[in-house]
Homo-oligomer: A and B are copies of this chain.
């Protein structure tokens, strides 16, 4: 069995969202599974001294234009949220909590959360809003609310972010194929060739 493709993303990352809409089909094309890892770019940026893309002069304006154009290019529905960026502990904790029991379900719920934010502008950093989204996916609202505040889940997310950093993750999306690192939606063409040829 080939190893799964590790897929790292932040729930507030537009390129991470578009990549999330693509990664499972890309992996499946080569008989691969995926392993989704929510990370917190805020914590990652602290390590690298980086700032959110949209906060950079000149580059920030271009980025907003490029988010929308890249979504059209990849045929993914996208609307720039009014509140951006957002803290993503809440959706990340819900995802990690679900993942422990059922990774495939965690991916479905994560996808619903990403679409809620990047298509419908719902502020998923807010627990009530995030819970309304996941409840529609059949997740028990009270159990999910408890998970958001559960010290064990908080700790699991902290460890996930630390492990990502230790592995060299510095942005979203970030993919590993058999240990080879790829940063960015715009490396998916290289990811595809790597999967097809086993490296190049």
Contact = CB atoms under 8 A, between A and B. Distances in A.
Given A56-B50, A57-B48, A200-B73, A62 B168 contact: yes
A70 B61 CA distance: 26
Interface stretch (A19-27, A76-84, A96-104, A183-191): A183-191
B66 A58 contact: no
A200 B73 CA distance: 7
B73 A183 contact: no
Given A58-B168, A72-B200, A73-B193, 7 more contacts: A48-B56, A59-B171, A61-B168, A62-B183, A66-B183, A70-B190, A186-B187
Interface of A: 47-50, 56-59, 61-62, 65-66, 69-70, 72-73, 165, 168, 170-171, 181, 183-184, 186-187, 189-190, 193, 200
